[in-house]
């Protein structure tokens, strides 16, 4: 069965500094991995997805994530945080033989001026 661990429930960074949101997954088969962002009282927006084409995935708003099979990780990064990045971020796994999307518990990102 798949599972997702987001190691930090809350991350706080200063505007203009790098962002690192950590995600580790467990999957029996080759997975698809996703990062979604949720701003307050809004639905979830897809940031990026990994589907085995390339290990470094670029998404919207300057975010990117690297798939590391040996570490079963899919950490989300951004070189320079912006105030508008403050939101909840969810890592999601779906194995390519299963059908369910499994969500991590989320990481709340705060950006300080």
Partner 1 sequence: KAGVTQTPRYLIKTRGQQVTLSCSPISGHRSVSWYQQTPGQGLQFLFEYFSETQRNKGNFPGRFSGRQFSNSRSEMNVSTLELGDSALYLCASSSGQGVIDTQYFGPGTRLTVL
Query: From start to end of 6-105, where are the E strands?
Result: 10-14, 19-21, 24-26, 31-38, 44-50, 56-58, 64-68, 73-78, 87-95, 102-103
Say how far apart CA 91 and CA 109 lie, in whole Å.
13
Contact residue for partner 1 among 7, 20, 46, 112 (CB under 8 A): 46
Does the footprint of partner 1 cover residue 32 (CB under 8 A)?
Answer: yes
- The binding track of 49-78 with respect to partner 1, each residue x by CB under 8 A or -, is x-xx--------------------------
Does the footprint of partner 1 cover residue 41 (CB under 8 A)?
Answer: yes
Does the footprint of partner 1 cover residue 25 (CB under 8 A)?
Answer: no
């Amino acid at each position: 069965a798949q599972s997702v661990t987001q190691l930090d429930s809350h991350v706080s960074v200063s505007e203009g500094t790098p962002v690192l949101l950590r995600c580790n997954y467990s999957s029996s088969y080759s997975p698809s991995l996703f990062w979604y962002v949720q701003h307050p009282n809004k639905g979830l927006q897809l940031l990026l997805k990994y589907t085995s084409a390339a290990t470094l995935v670029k998404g919207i708003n300057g975010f990117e994530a690297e798939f590391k099979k040996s570490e079963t990780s899919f950490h989300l990064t951004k070189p320079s945080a912006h105030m508008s990045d403050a939101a909840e971020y969810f890592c999601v796994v779906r194995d390519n033989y299963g059908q369910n999307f499994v969500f991590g518990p989320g990481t709340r990102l705060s950006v300080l001026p």
